[in-house]
Structure 1
Amino acid sequence: MSRTSAPPSSPATCPPTSARYRSEHQRDVVNRLKRIEGQVRALIEMVEAGRPCEDVAQQMSAARKAMDKAFFRMMACSVMESVAVADDQTLREVERSTRILEKYA
């Protein structure tokens, strides 16, 4: 199983209350979770095949990081919905902050 990163998610630039934003966001999170599901299945196969612990640990780390990113993506949606009534400048700052969290958290 190769360590690949998820494709870059589109920044939360759509109006946070729009149905389109929610639908795109939900699809993104579901796709991330499906990739994680595949990583976990591959991990099980690695353990059952007796692969070296370091190889398994590396892939576990990748799956854990992917889960963290899915979590932060989901939380970004929650934050964007919370500031839906904010002015444009505040909204841009929140979007910027959520992108930083998703990228580096």
Structure 2
Amino acid sequence: MVNRLKRIEGQVRALIEMVESGRPCEDVAQQMSAARKAMDKAFFRMMACSVMESVAVSDDETMREVERSTRILEKYA
């Protein structure tokens, strides 16, 4: 999770540099979209962790299903 957040932090720093250097709005918007998607993925990963802790089941099949659902959310949300 920390690595994901550090990547996002780098993306946001790059966005600031793009704006400060006067890059075209479309370029900035594209990078903003990428940063937002990365943040969404980090959010869904964190929520999956929360669900796993809440369920507190040692059943491997349940954990695999939670992971599968998380990957679907990350991909299509």
TM range (shorter): 0.7 to 0.9
1:11 is matched with none
Residue segments in structure 1 that go unaligned for 5+ positions in a row: 1-28
Higher share in helix: 2
How far apart are 1:83 and its partner, in Å? 1.8
How far apart are 1:99 and its partner, in Å? 1.9
Distance in structure 2 (CA, Å) of the matches to 1:62 and 1:88? 33
Q: How many residues align?
A: 77
Identity %: 94
Residue segments in structure 2 that go unaligned for 5+ positions in a row: none
Residue deviations 1:24-45 (CA, integer Å, cap 9, x gap): xxxxx11111011111111111
TM-score normalised by structure 2 residue count: 0.86
How far apart are 1:93 and its partner, in Å? 2.3
1:99 is matched with 71
How far apart are 1:77 and its partner, in Å? 0.5
Distance in structure 1 (CA, Å) of the matches to 2:6 and 2:53? 24
